[in-house]
Amino acid sequence: MRLTMSKKTETMRSATVPAVLSLTLLACGIQTDYVPLNPPSHTLHARMLADVEVFDEGNSPPRQYVEVATIEARRMSNNHATKEELIKNIRDVAARHGCDAVRILGGVDMDGRRGYRGACITYDEAPAVTATPSPPDAGPNPYAPPVPAASEPPAPAAPSSASAK
């Protein structure tokens, strides 16, 4: 059995999807701009949001870094996004661009649209790789072939059956 939609239902459905999408985008109401500044200190790859460190205004990372870009997030008209929501938006954009961290530079106000600006940064040194510890020595491998001691002479070859005749 095949179900079909009437033309009226199909028309309403096709008109509803863009309207819902538009409302969803308007509900977000945060405009974000990413402006490249300097080449990164290492190759950038998108990362998880939790992997991007955030340094508040006046605080800087304790190690050397490069400011790769500025990221600015501003409320759109009639939007009441909080500081935390705006900074989360900056952090999200930084994660998508592969930034190691974001340093919040301060608030901005453009045409009455309040927002925040941050610097997308990459650390000068490559990210540290944690070495996995080797397992404790369990002794010799019981499946390895025996290794003759250096002082032992090699064992004589066994006589072949063809030379015995």
CATH of the domain at 44: 3.30.110.70
The alpha carbon of 136 is separated from its chain's Cα centroid by a whole number of angstroms, namely 33
Torsional class of 36: left (φ above 0), alpha (ψ -120 to 50), beta (otherwise): beta
Residues in the chain: 165
Q: Does a structural domain hold residue 13?
A: no
Q: Does a structural domain hold residue 100?
A: yes
Q: Given this model, what pLDDT does residue 148 score?
A: 59
Q: Given this model, what pLDDT does residue 83 score?
A: 87
Longest dimension (CA), the chain: 108
Q: Does a structural domain hold residue 88?
A: yes
Q: Does a structural domain hold residue 114?
A: yes
pLDDT in tens, 112-129: 678 889 999 999 875 554
Number of domains in the chain: 1
Mean pLDDT of 57-66: 88
Give CA separation, 36 vs 30, 68, 70, 144, in Å: 20, 6, 7, 57
Q: Given this model, what pLDDT does residue 97 score?
A: 95
Q: Does a structural domain hold residue 90?
A: yes
Tell me: pLDDT of 23 over 80. no
Q: Given this model, what pLDDT does residue 59 score?
A: 86
What is the extent of the structural domain holding 36? 30-123
Q: List the one residue out of 107, 114, 108 whose CA is nearest residue 77.
A: 114
- The answer to whether 71 and 103 are in contact (CB under 8 A) is no
Q: Does a structural domain hold residue 156?
A: no
Mean pLDDT of 104-115: 80
Q: Does a structural domain hold residue 78?
A: yes
Q: Given this model, what pLDDT does residue 73 score?
A: 92
Whole-structure pTM value: 0.58
Mean pLDDT of 85-97: 94
Residue % of the chain over a pLDDT of 90: 33
Sheet architecture: strand order including 53-55: 30-36, 65-75, 113-123, 101-110, 53-55
Q: Does a structural domain hold residue 159?
A: no
Half-sphere exposure of 156 (CA within 13 A, CB side): 3
